[in-house]
Protein backbone atom coordinates (compact mmCIF):
# COMPACT_ATOMS: atom_id res chain seq x y z
CA UNK A 1 0.00 0.00 0.00
CA UNK A 2 1.26 3.48 -0.86
CA UNK A 3 1.35 5.94 2.05
CA UNK A 4 -0.33 9.28 1.48
CA UNK A 5 2.08 12.23 1.04
CA UNK A 6 2.83 13.75 4.49
CA UNK A 7 1.84 17.40 4.96
CA UNK A 8 4.49 20.09 5.46
CA UNK A 9 3.66 20.56 9.15
CA UNK A 10 3.82 16.82 9.72
CA UNK A 11 7.23 16.82 8.07
CA UNK A 12 8.37 19.67 10.28
CA UNK A 13 7.29 17.97 13.50
CA UNK A 14 8.87 14.76 12.37
CA UNK A 15 12.12 16.65 11.72
CA UNK A 16 12.00 17.95 15.29
CA UNK A 17 11.46 14.47 16.58
CA UNK A 18 14.51 13.28 14.66
CA UNK A 19 16.58 16.16 16.05
CA UNK A 20 15.49 15.45 19.65
CA UNK A 21 16.19 11.75 19.32
CA UNK A 22 19.55 12.48 17.70
CA UNK A 23 20.58 14.89 20.47
CA UNK A 24 19.60 12.31 23.10
CA UNK A 25 21.62 9.61 21.38
CA UNK A 26 24.63 11.72 20.34
CA UNK A 27 26.87 10.90 23.35
CA UNK A 28 26.00 7.24 22.92
CA UNK A 29 26.88 7.48 19.23
CA UNK A 30 30.25 9.01 20.08
CA UNK A 31 30.90 6.21 22.54
CA UNK A 32 29.85 3.63 19.96
CA UNK A 33 32.18 5.21 17.44
CA UNK A 34 35.08 4.98 19.89
CA UNK A 35 34.19 1.36 20.61
CA UNK A 36 34.09 0.72 16.85
CA UNK A 37 37.49 2.34 16.49
CA UNK A 38 39.01 0.04 19.14
CA UNK A 39 37.34 -2.97 17.55
CA UNK A 40 38.79 -1.91 14.20
CA UNK A 41 42.31 -1.88 15.67
CA UNK A 42 41.83 -5.45 16.83
CA UNK A 43 40.51 -6.46 13.42
CA UNK A 44 43.48 -4.79 11.65
CA UNK A 45 45.81 -6.82 13.83
CA UNK A 46 43.97 -10.11 13.31
CA UNK A 47 43.74 -9.66 9.54
CA UNK A 48 47.38 -8.59 9.27
CA UNK A 49 48.82 -11.31 11.49
CA UNK A 50 46.53 -14.25 10.76
CA UNK A 51 45.49 -13.78 7.12
CA UNK A 52 48.49 -11.88 5.75
CA UNK A 53 49.17 -11.49 2.03
CA UNK A 54 52.46 -9.66 2.74
CA UNK A 55 54.91 -12.45 1.90
CA UNK A 56 53.20 -13.33 -1.35
CA UNK A 57 53.17 -9.65 -2.42
CA UNK A 58 56.85 -9.35 -1.45
CA UNK A 59 57.93 -12.41 -3.44
CA UNK A 60 55.94 -11.35 -6.50
CA UNK A 61 57.74 -8.01 -6.48
CA UNK A 62 61.22 -9.37 -5.81
CA UNK A 63 61.39 -12.84 -7.36
CA UNK A 64 58.87 -12.61 -10.20
CA UNK A 65 59.16 -8.97 -11.31
CA UNK A 66 62.65 -8.30 -9.95
CA UNK A 67 64.55 -5.03 -10.40
CA UNK A 68 62.25 -2.09 -11.14
CA UNK A 69 64.44 0.70 -12.48
CA UNK A 70 62.42 3.82 -13.29
CA UNK A 71 61.59 3.83 -16.99
CA UNK A 72 62.25 0.11 -17.43
CA UNK A 73 59.59 -2.31 -18.72
CA UNK A 74 59.81 -4.14 -15.36
CA UNK A 75 58.84 -0.98 -13.48
CA UNK A 76 55.77 -0.55 -15.69
CA UNK A 77 54.93 -4.23 -15.12
CA UNK A 78 55.14 -3.76 -11.36
CA UNK A 79 52.98 -0.61 -11.52
CA UNK A 80 50.27 -2.38 -13.52
CA UNK A 81 50.42 -5.35 -11.18
CA UNK A 82 50.00 -3.13 -8.11
CA UNK A 83 47.13 -1.19 -9.72
CA UNK A 84 45.37 -4.49 -10.54
CA UNK A 85 45.81 -5.75 -6.96
CA UNK A 86 44.30 -2.52 -5.59
CA UNK A 87 41.34 -2.83 -7.95
CA UNK A 88 40.90 -6.52 -7.13
CA UNK A 89 40.78 -5.73 -3.39
CA UNK A 90 37.99 -3.25 -4.04
CA UNK A 91 39.90 0.00 -3.60
CA UNK A 92 38.48 2.84 -5.68
CA UNK A 93 40.22 5.12 -8.16
CA UNK A 94 43.06 2.61 -8.71
CA UNK A 95 45.16 4.02 -11.52
CA UNK A 96 48.56 4.94 -12.94
CA UNK A 97 49.39 8.65 -12.93
CA UNK A 98 52.00 9.61 -15.54
CA UNK A 99 54.74 12.19 -15.19
CA UNK A 100 57.47 13.05 -17.66
CA UNK A 101 60.69 11.15 -16.96
CA UNK A 102 62.80 10.67 -20.10
CA UNK A 103 64.36 7.62 -21.68
CA UNK A 104 63.99 4.30 -19.92
CA UNK A 105 66.73 1.67 -19.82
CA UNK A 106 67.18 -2.03 -19.13
CA UNK A 107 70.03 -4.48 -18.75
CA UNK A 108 69.87 -7.40 -21.20
CA UNK A 109 73.20 -9.14 -20.61
CA UNK A 110 76.53 -8.66 -18.90
CA UNK A 111 79.55 -10.90 -18.64
CA UNK A 112 83.06 -10.06 -17.54
CA UNK A 113 86.08 -12.21 -16.76
CA UNK A 114 89.81 -12.01 -16.35
CA UNK A 115 91.31 -14.64 -18.67
CA UNK A 116 95.07 -14.04 -18.13
CA UNK A 117 97.18 -14.69 -16.04
CA UNK A 118 94.36 -17.21 -15.30
CA UNK A 119 90.63 -17.50 -15.76
CA UNK A 120 88.61 -15.63 -13.14
CA UNK A 121 84.90 -14.76 -13.51
CA UNK A 122 83.98 -11.27 -12.25
CA UNK A 123 80.96 -9.91 -10.39
CA UNK A 124 80.22 -6.98 -12.68
CA UNK A 125 77.32 -4.66 -13.61
CA UNK A 126 77.01 -1.76 -16.04
CA UNK A 127 75.91 1.65 -14.78
CA UNK A 128 72.23 2.26 -15.53
CA UNK A 129 71.74 4.19 -18.81
CA UNK A 130 75.17 3.18 -20.11
CA UNK A 131 75.25 1.91 -23.70
CA UNK A 132 76.18 -1.57 -24.93
CA UNK A 133 79.78 -2.53 -25.63
CA UNK A 134 80.60 -3.10 -29.32
CA UNK A 135 79.98 -6.83 -28.90
CA UNK A 136 82.35 -8.98 -26.86
CA UNK A 137 85.57 -7.09 -26.11
CA UNK A 138 88.65 -9.13 -25.48
CA UNK A 139 92.26 -8.15 -24.90
CA UNK A 140 94.90 -6.71 -22.58
CA UNK A 141 93.34 -4.32 -20.08
CA UNK A 142 94.96 -0.88 -19.89
CA UNK A 143 95.55 0.26 -16.33
CA UNK A 144 95.45 4.05 -15.89
CA UNK A 145 94.75 4.16 -12.15
CA UNK A 146 98.15 5.79 -11.50
CA UNK A 147 98.23 8.16 -14.49
CA UNK A 148 97.66 11.90 -14.78
CA UNK A 149 95.30 13.50 -17.29
CA UNK A 150 98.34 14.53 -19.39
CA UNK A 151 99.73 10.99 -19.42
CA UNK A 152 96.37 9.49 -20.45
CA UNK A 153 95.93 12.17 -23.12
CA UNK A 154 99.36 11.24 -24.50
CA UNK A 155 98.26 7.57 -24.77
CA UNK A 156 95.63 8.76 -27.30
CA UNK A 157 94.90 6.14 -29.96
CA UNK A 158 96.41 3.31 -27.84
CA UNK A 159 93.14 3.46 -25.89
CA UNK A 160 90.79 3.08 -28.85
CA UNK A 161 88.45 0.10 -28.37
CA UNK A 162 90.35 -1.00 -25.25
CA UNK A 163 89.25 -2.26 -21.83
CA UNK A 164 90.37 0.43 -19.33
CA UNK A 165 90.96 -0.09 -15.60
CA UNK A 166 90.38 3.47 -14.41
CA UNK A 167 91.09 3.45 -10.66
CA UNK A 168 93.88 2.54 -8.23
CA UNK A 169 93.08 -0.25 -5.76
CA UNK A 170 90.39 0.77 -3.24
CA UNK A 171 91.46 1.14 0.39
CA UNK A 172 88.38 2.81 2.00
CA UNK A 173 85.37 0.51 2.13
CA UNK A 174 81.72 0.75 3.17
CA UNK A 175 82.17 -0.96 6.52
CA UNK A 176 79.50 0.30 8.90
CA UNK A 177 75.74 0.69 8.98
CA UNK A 178 74.41 3.99 10.24
CA UNK A 179 73.58 4.03 14.00
CA UNK A 180 70.16 2.61 14.79
CA UNK A 181 67.69 5.38 15.75
CA UNK A 182 65.59 4.62 18.76
CA UNK A 183 68.32 2.84 20.67
CA UNK A 184 69.52 4.50 23.84
CA UNK A 185 72.51 6.86 23.37
CA UNK A 186 72.65 6.29 19.59
CA UNK A 187 72.51 9.50 17.56
CA UNK A 188 69.63 9.67 15.10
CA UNK A 189 70.44 9.47 11.42
CA UNK A 190 69.18 12.40 9.43
CA UNK A 191 69.62 10.77 6.04
CA UNK A 192 71.78 8.36 4.15
CA UNK A 193 75.34 8.23 5.49
CA UNK A 194 78.06 9.35 3.08
CA UNK A 195 79.59 6.36 1.29
CA UNK A 196 83.30 6.16 0.49
CA UNK A 197 83.84 6.70 -3.23
CA UNK A 198 86.51 5.00 -5.30
CA UNK A 199 89.03 7.74 -6.08
CA UNK A 200 91.00 8.17 -9.26
CA UNK A 201 93.79 10.72 -9.86
CA UNK A 202 91.83 12.18 -12.81
CA UNK A 203 88.47 13.88 -12.13
CA UNK A 204 85.64 11.64 -13.38
CA UNK A 205 84.17 14.11 -15.87
CA UNK A 206 87.50 14.99 -17.49
CA UNK A 207 88.37 11.30 -17.83
CA UNK A 208 84.94 10.44 -19.29
CA UNK A 209 85.29 13.17 -21.93
CA UNK A 210 88.81 12.11 -22.87
CA UNK A 211 87.94 8.40 -23.14
CA UNK A 212 84.86 9.23 -25.20
CA UNK A 213 87.03 11.31 -27.59
CA UNK A 214 89.58 8.53 -28.10
CA UNK A 215 86.85 5.86 -28.43
CA UNK A 216 87.79 3.58 -25.51
CA UNK A 217 85.88 0.27 -25.53
CA UNK A 218 84.71 0.05 -21.92
CA UNK A 219 85.72 1.39 -18.51
CA UNK A 220 86.07 -0.93 -15.52
CA UNK A 221 86.00 0.62 -12.05
CA UNK A 222 85.77 -0.77 -8.50
CA UNK A 223 82.83 -0.75 -6.12
CA UNK A 224 83.58 0.27 -2.52
CA UNK A 225 81.56 -2.45 -0.77
CA UNK A 226 83.13 -5.65 0.55
CA UNK A 227 82.68 -9.41 0.17
CA UNK A 228 81.36 -9.43 -3.38
CA UNK A 229 78.79 -6.72 -2.79
CA UNK A 230 78.68 -4.24 -5.66
CA UNK A 231 77.00 -0.82 -5.42
CA UNK A 232 75.66 0.28 -8.81
CA UNK A 233 73.73 3.40 -9.78
CA UNK A 234 73.78 5.36 -13.05
CA UNK A 235 72.54 8.63 -14.51
CA UNK A 236 69.70 9.08 -17.01
CA UNK A 237 71.62 12.02 -18.47
CA UNK A 238 74.50 9.77 -19.62
CA UNK A 239 75.12 10.49 -23.33
CA UNK A 240 74.48 7.52 -25.62
CA UNK A 241 78.00 7.77 -27.04
CA UNK A 242 79.69 7.80 -23.62
CA UNK A 243 82.07 4.89 -23.08
CA UNK A 244 80.12 1.94 -21.54
CA UNK A 245 80.89 1.83 -17.80
CA UNK A 246 81.11 -1.31 -15.68
CA UNK A 247 81.50 -1.66 -11.90
CA UNK A 248 83.31 -4.72 -10.54
CA UNK A 249 83.36 -6.16 -7.00
CA UNK A 250 85.98 -4.27 -5.01
CA UNK A 251 88.33 -7.12 -4.11
CA UNK A 252 88.24 -8.52 -7.66
CA UNK A 253 89.06 -5.12 -9.13
CA UNK A 254 91.84 -4.66 -6.58
CA UNK A 255 93.33 -8.01 -7.60
CA UNK A 256 93.48 -7.01 -11.28
CA UNK A 257 94.82 -3.54 -10.47
CA UNK A 258 97.59 -4.99 -8.27
CA UNK A 259 98.54 -7.49 -10.98
CA UNK A 260 98.70 -4.67 -13.53
CA UNK A 261 100.78 -2.47 -11.21
CA UNK A 262 103.24 -5.33 -10.68
CA UNK A 263 103.70 -5.54 -14.43
CA UNK A 264 101.76 -8.70 -15.19
CA UNK A 265 99.57 -8.65 -18.29
CA UNK A 266 95.87 -8.71 -17.37
CA UNK A 267 93.68 -10.01 -20.19
CA UNK A 268 89.90 -9.63 -19.95
CA UNK A 269 86.71 -10.38 -21.86
CA UNK A 270 83.79 -7.99 -21.33
CA UNK A 271 80.38 -7.76 -22.90
CA UNK A 272 77.44 -5.58 -21.88
CA UNK A 273 74.14 -5.39 -23.75
CA UNK A 274 71.62 -2.76 -22.69
CA UNK A 275 68.54 -1.15 -24.23
CA UNK A 276 67.22 2.39 -24.04
CA UNK A 277 63.45 2.91 -24.23
CA UNK A 278 62.26 6.06 -25.95
CA UNK A 279 58.70 5.30 -27.05
CA UNK A 280 57.15 6.24 -23.71
CA UNK A 281 59.07 8.99 -21.93
CA UNK A 282 56.66 8.97 -18.97
CA UNK A 283 56.97 7.12 -15.73
CA UNK A 284 54.07 6.34 -13.43
CA UNK A 285 52.92 6.64 -9.83
CA UNK A 286 50.26 4.13 -8.77
CA UNK A 287 47.39 5.47 -6.68
CA UNK A 288 44.20 4.08 -5.12
CA UNK A 289 41.95 4.87 -2.18
CA UNK A 290 39.33 3.89 0.38
CA UNK A 291 36.71 6.64 0.46
CA UNK A 292 36.05 8.46 3.73
CA UNK A 293 32.58 8.17 5.27
CA UNK A 294 32.19 11.23 7.52
CA UNK A 295 30.55 14.06 5.53
CA UNK A 296 32.40 16.62 7.70
CA UNK A 297 35.91 15.36 6.86
CA UNK A 298 35.72 12.85 4.03
CA UNK A 299 37.25 15.31 1.55
CA UNK A 300 40.36 15.27 3.75
CA UNK A 301 42.75 12.37 3.34
CA UNK A 302 45.52 10.35 4.89
CA UNK A 303 48.15 9.37 2.32
CA UNK A 304 50.46 6.38 2.77
CA UNK A 305 53.20 5.58 0.28
CA UNK A 306 56.51 4.02 -0.68
CA UNK A 307 58.68 4.01 -3.79
CA UNK A 308 58.15 1.13 -6.17
CA UNK A 309 61.22 1.83 -8.33
CA UNK A 310 64.60 0.29 -7.52
CA UNK A 311 68.12 0.05 -8.90
CA UNK A 312 68.94 -2.67 -11.41
CA UNK A 313 71.61 -4.99 -9.96
CA UNK A 314 69.37 -7.04 -7.64
CA UNK A 315 65.68 -7.35 -6.78
CA UNK A 316 65.13 -4.17 -4.78
CA UNK A 317 63.89 -6.09 -1.73
CA UNK A 318 64.85 -3.71 1.09
CA UNK A 319 64.96 -0.71 -1.24
CA UNK A 320 62.09 -0.75 -1.45
CA UNK A 321 59.79 -3.74 -2.02
CA UNK A 322 59.42 -4.06 1.76
CA UNK A 323 58.07 -0.50 2.02
CA UNK A 324 55.74 -1.11 -0.91
CA UNK A 325 54.42 -4.25 0.76
CA UNK A 326 53.84 -2.34 4.03
CA UNK A 327 51.52 0.15 2.34
CA UNK A 328 49.89 -2.28 -0.13
CA UNK A 329 49.15 -4.81 2.60
CA UNK A 330 47.91 -2.02 4.90
CA UNK A 331 45.34 -1.07 2.26
CA UNK A 332 44.38 -4.72 1.73
CA UNK A 333 43.89 -5.19 5.48
CA UNK A 334 41.72 -2.07 5.81
CA UNK A 335 39.59 -3.09 2.85
CA UNK A 336 39.34 -6.75 3.95
CA UNK A 337 37.96 -5.81 7.37
CA UNK A 338 35.50 -3.39 5.78
CA UNK A 339 37.05 -0.38 7.52
CA UNK A 340 34.93 2.76 7.04
CA UNK A 341 37.36 5.57 7.90
CA UNK A 342 36.04 9.08 8.55
CA UNK A 343 38.66 10.60 6.24
CA UNK A 344 39.65 9.08 2.90
CA UNK A 345 42.76 6.88 3.00
CA UNK A 346 44.89 7.03 -0.17
CA UNK A 347 47.91 5.02 -1.19
CA UNK A 348 50.68 6.06 -3.59
CA UNK A 349 53.51 3.94 -4.99
CA UNK A 350 56.07 6.42 -6.25
CA UNK A 351 58.33 6.10 -9.24
CA UNK A 352 61.58 7.98 -9.89
CA UNK A 353 62.53 8.10 -6.20
CA UNK A 354 66.07 6.99 -6.98
CA UNK A 355 66.45 9.77 -9.57
CA UNK A 356 65.48 12.56 -7.14
CA UNK A 357 62.06 11.88 -5.53
CA UNK A 358 60.51 12.60 -8.94
CA UNK A 359 57.21 10.76 -8.46
CA UNK A 360 56.43 12.36 -5.11
CA UNK A 361 57.34 15.79 -6.50
CA UNK A 362 55.07 15.19 -9.52
CA UNK A 363 52.19 14.20 -7.21
CA UNK A 364 52.58 17.40 -5.20
CA UNK A 365 52.55 19.41 -8.45
CA UNK A 366 49.49 17.52 -9.70
CA UNK A 367 47.45 17.37 -6.49
CA UNK A 368 48.90 19.59 -3.79
CA UNK A 369 49.96 22.77 -5.56
CA UNK A 370 47.78 25.23 -3.59
CA UNK A 371 47.37 25.93 0.15
CA UNK A 372 43.69 24.86 -0.16
CA UNK A 373 44.69 21.50 -1.62
CA UNK A 374 47.43 21.06 0.98
CA UNK A 375 44.95 21.74 3.77
CA UNK A 376 43.07 18.57 2.72
CA UNK A 377 46.09 16.37 3.49
CA UNK A 378 45.78 15.12 7.07
CA UNK A 379 49.19 13.44 6.98
CA UNK A 380 51.58 11.59 4.67
CA UNK A 381 53.23 8.41 5.98
CA UNK A 382 56.21 7.04 4.01
CA UNK A 383 58.04 3.71 4.29
CA UNK A 384 61.53 3.60 2.84
CA UNK A 385 65.07 3.59 4.32
CA UNK A 386 66.06 0.57 6.37
CA UNK A 387 64.47 -2.86 6.46
CA UNK A 388 62.91 -5.25 8.93
CA UNK A 389 60.19 -4.23 11.34
CA UNK A 390 58.87 -0.74 11.92
CA UNK A 391 59.96 0.74 15.26
CA UNK A 392 57.97 3.99 15.01
CA UNK A 393 58.25 7.22 13.02
CA UNK A 394 60.73 10.07 12.55
CA UNK A 395 58.74 13.13 13.65
CA UNK A 396 60.59 15.84 11.68
CA UNK A 397 60.87 18.02 14.83
CA UNK A 398 57.06 18.23 15.01
CA UNK A 399 56.52 17.76 18.78
CA UNK A 400 52.78 18.41 18.54
CA UNK A 401 52.25 15.66 15.97
CA UNK A 402 54.48 13.38 18.03
CA UNK A 403 51.95 13.45 20.88
CA UNK A 404 49.35 11.80 18.64
CA UNK A 405 51.84 9.34 17.17
CA UNK A 406 53.08 8.36 20.65
CA UNK A 407 49.51 7.49 21.65
CA UNK A 408 49.08 5.28 18.61
CA UNK A 409 52.05 3.12 19.56
CA UNK A 410 50.29 1.77 22.67
CA UNK A 411 48.53 -1.20 21.04
CA UNK A 412 51.63 -1.99 18.92
CA UNK A 413 54.29 -2.20 21.64
CA UNK A 414 54.22 -5.98 21.87
CA UNK A 415 54.91 -6.07 18.11
CA UNK A 416 58.08 -4.01 18.56
CA UNK A 417 56.80 -0.58 17.51
CA UNK A 418 57.82 1.32 20.63
CA UNK A 419 59.36 4.68 19.80
CA UNK A 420 58.91 7.80 17.71
CA UNK A 421 61.96 10.04 17.53
CA UNK A 422 61.61 13.79 17.24
CA UNK A 423 64.34 14.03 14.60
CA UNK A 424 63.74 13.79 10.86
CA UNK A 425 65.31 11.72 8.12
CA UNK A 426 66.23 12.92 4.64
CA UNK A 427 66.63 11.36 1.21
CA UNK A 428 63.20 9.90 0.61
CA UNK A 429 59.69 10.69 -0.62
CA UNK A 430 58.22 12.44 2.40
CA UNK A 431 60.86 15.20 2.06
CA UNK A 432 59.08 17.26 -0.66
CA UNK A 433 55.89 17.17 1.46
CA UNK A 434 57.84 18.45 4.47
CA UNK A 435 59.51 21.11 2.33
CA UNK A 436 56.05 22.31 1.22
CA UNK A 437 54.97 22.60 4.89
CA UNK A 438 52.79 19.47 5.07
CA UNK A 439 52.98 16.95 7.93
CA UNK A 440 54.86 13.99 6.48
CA UNK A 441 56.81 11.31 8.32
CA UNK A 442 58.90 8.25 7.50
CA UNK A 443 58.83 4.94 9.37
CA UNK A 444 61.87 4.01 11.49
CA UNK A 445 63.26 0.63 10.40
CA UNK A 446 66.22 -1.57 11.29
CA UNK A 447 69.51 -0.57 9.66
CA UNK A 448 71.41 -3.78 10.27
CA UNK A 449 73.03 -4.74 6.97
CA UNK A 450 71.23 -1.99 5.08
CA UNK A 451 74.13 0.38 4.44
CA UNK A 452 76.91 -2.19 4.20
CA UNK A 453 75.02 -4.78 2.20
CA UNK A 454 71.68 -4.12 0.49
CA UNK A 455 71.03 -0.46 -0.34
CA UNK A 456 71.70 0.13 -4.06
CA UNK A 457 73.68 -3.10 -4.38
CA UNK A 458 73.62 -6.49 -6.06
CA UNK A 459 72.76 -8.04 -2.67
CA UNK A 460 69.27 -6.60 -2.18
CA UNK A 461 67.32 -9.85 -2.00
CA UNK A 462 64.20 -10.95 -0.06
CA UNK A 463 66.16 -13.05 2.45
CA UNK A 464 66.80 -9.81 4.36
CA UNK A 465 63.16 -9.75 5.50
CA UNK A 466 61.27 -12.32 7.54
CA UNK A 467 57.56 -12.96 7.07
CA UNK A 468 56.91 -11.73 10.62
CA UNK A 469 58.63 -8.43 9.85
CA UNK A 470 56.58 -8.01 6.67
CA UNK A 471 53.36 -8.63 8.63
CA UNK A 472 54.39 -6.33 11.48
CA UNK A 473 55.21 -3.32 9.31
CA UNK A 474 51.87 -3.63 7.47
CA UNK A 475 49.91 -3.80 10.74
CA UNK A 476 51.76 -0.74 12.03
CA UNK A 477 51.09 1.19 8.80
CA UNK A 478 47.40 0.21 8.71
CA UNK A 479 46.99 1.16 12.38
CA UNK A 480 48.60 4.59 11.91
CA UNK A 481 46.63 5.29 8.72
CA UNK A 482 43.40 4.33 10.48
CA UNK A 483 44.15 6.41 13.58
CA UNK A 484 45.01 9.48 11.50
CA UNK A 485 41.86 9.03 9.41
CA UNK A 486 39.67 8.78 12.53
CA UNK A 487 41.26 11.55 14.62
CA UNK A 488 38.96 14.35 15.83
CA UNK A 489 41.73 16.85 15.22
CA UNK A 490 44.02 17.75 12.35
CA UNK A 491 47.60 16.53 12.59
CA UNK A 492 49.46 19.73 13.50
CA UNK A 493 51.69 21.27 10.86
CA UNK A 494 55.28 21.87 11.97
CA UNK A 495 55.67 25.11 13.91
CA UNK A 496 57.38 26.97 11.07
CA UNK A 497 54.24 26.89 8.90
CA UNK A 498 50.93 28.52 9.95
CA UNK A 499 48.45 25.95 11.26
CA UNK A 500 45.12 25.78 9.44
CA UNK A 501 42.70 23.76 11.50
CA UNK A 502 39.74 23.47 9.16
CA UNK A 503 38.03 20.63 10.97
CA UNK A 504 37.92 22.52 14.23
CA UNK A 505 36.72 25.70 12.52
CA UNK A 506 33.89 23.82 10.85
CA UNK A 507 32.76 22.20 14.09
CA UNK A 508 32.66 25.53 15.88
ZN1 LIG B 1 67.27 3.85 -2.67
* Domain boundaries defined on the chain: 43-102+281-507, 106-277
pLDDT of residue 17: 46
CA of 3 to the centre of ligand 1 (A): 66
Strands 142-143, 137-140: pairing is unpaired
Sheet holding 245-248, edge to edge: 124-126, 245-248, 218-222, 163-165, 142-143
- CB of 74 within 8 A of CB of 275? no
Give the rounded distance of the alpha carbon of 169 from its chain centre. Answer: 32
The alpha carbons of the chain give a radius of gyration, in whole angstroms, of: 27
CA of 310 to the centre of ligand 1 (A): 7
pLDDT of residue 15: 46
CA of 148 to the centre of ligand 1 (A): 34
Measured CA to CA, the distance from residue 364 to residue 366 in angstroms comes to 5
CA of 374 to the centre of ligand 1 (A): 27
CA of 455 to the centre of ligand 1 (A): 6
CA of 427 to the centre of ligand 1 (A): 8
CA of 144 to the centre of ligand 1 (A): 31
CATH code, residues 43-102+281-507:
3.40.630.10
CA of 342 to the centre of ligand 1 (A): 34
Residues with a beta carbon under 5 angstroms from ion ligand 1: 319
pLDDT of residue 4: 39
pLDDT digits (tens, 9 = 90+) for 402-411: 999 999 999 9
CA of 472 to the centre of ligand 1 (A): 22
CA of 214 to the centre of ligand 1 (A): 34
CA of 337 to the centre of ligand 1 (A): 32
User: Of the candidates 298, 449, 290, 283, which has an alpha carbon nearest to the alpha carbon of residue 363?
Assistant: 283
- Note whether 43-102+281-507 and 106-277 share their fold: no
CATH 3.50.30.30 fits 106-277, yes or no: yes
CA of 195 to the centre of ligand 1 (A): 13
CA of 241 to the centre of ligand 1 (A): 27
CA of 483 to the centre of ligand 1 (A): 28
Measured CA to CA, the distance from residue 331 to residue 337 in angstroms comes to 10
pLDDT of residue 186: 62
CA of 456 to the centre of ligand 1 (A): 6
CA of 272 to the centre of ligand 1 (A): 24
CA of 436 to the centre of ligand 1 (A): 22
CA of 340 to the centre of ligand 1 (A): 34
CA of 355 to the centre of ligand 1 (A): 9
257-260 own/partner pairs: CB under 8 Å, 24+ apart: 257/143, 257/145, 257/165, 257/167, 257/168, 257/169, 257/222, 258/169, 259/117, 260/141, 260/143, 260/145, 260/165
CA of 82 to the centre of ligand 1 (A): 19
Phi/psi for 148 (5° steps) reads -85, 170
CA of 281 to the centre of ligand 1 (A): 22
CA of 453 to the centre of ligand 1 (A): 13
HSE of 30 in the Cβ direction (CA atoms, 13 Å)? 6
Mark the ranges of the chain whose per-residue pLDDT is less than 50: 1-23, 26-27, 497-508
CA of 289 to the centre of ligand 1 (A): 25
CA of 334 to the centre of ligand 1 (A): 28
In the three-class reduction of DSSP (H, G, I as helix; E, B as strand; rest coil), residue 305 is classed as strand
Task: Count CB neighbours of 73 within 10 A.
Answer: 14
Residue 425 preceded by cis peptide, ω within 30: no
- CB of 130 within 8 A of CB of 219? no
pLDDT digits (tens, 9 = 90+) for 50-83: 999 999 999 999 999 999 999 999 999 999 999 9
CA of 86 to the centre of ligand 1 (A): 24
Amino acid sequence: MISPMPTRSALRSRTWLVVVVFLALAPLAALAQRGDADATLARIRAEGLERSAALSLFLTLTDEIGARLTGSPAHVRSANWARDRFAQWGLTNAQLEPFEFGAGWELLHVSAAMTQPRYFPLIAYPDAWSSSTAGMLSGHAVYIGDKTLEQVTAMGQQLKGRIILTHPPVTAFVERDRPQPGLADAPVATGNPPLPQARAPIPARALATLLQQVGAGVTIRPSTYTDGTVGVLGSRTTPRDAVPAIVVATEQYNMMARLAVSGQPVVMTVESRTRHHETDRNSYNVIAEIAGTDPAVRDEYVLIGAHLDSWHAANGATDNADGVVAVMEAMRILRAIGAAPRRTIKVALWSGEEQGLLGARAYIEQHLATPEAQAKLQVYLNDDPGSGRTLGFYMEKNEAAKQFFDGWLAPLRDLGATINVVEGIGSTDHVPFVEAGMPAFNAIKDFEGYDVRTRHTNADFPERMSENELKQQAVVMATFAWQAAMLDKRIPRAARTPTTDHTEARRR
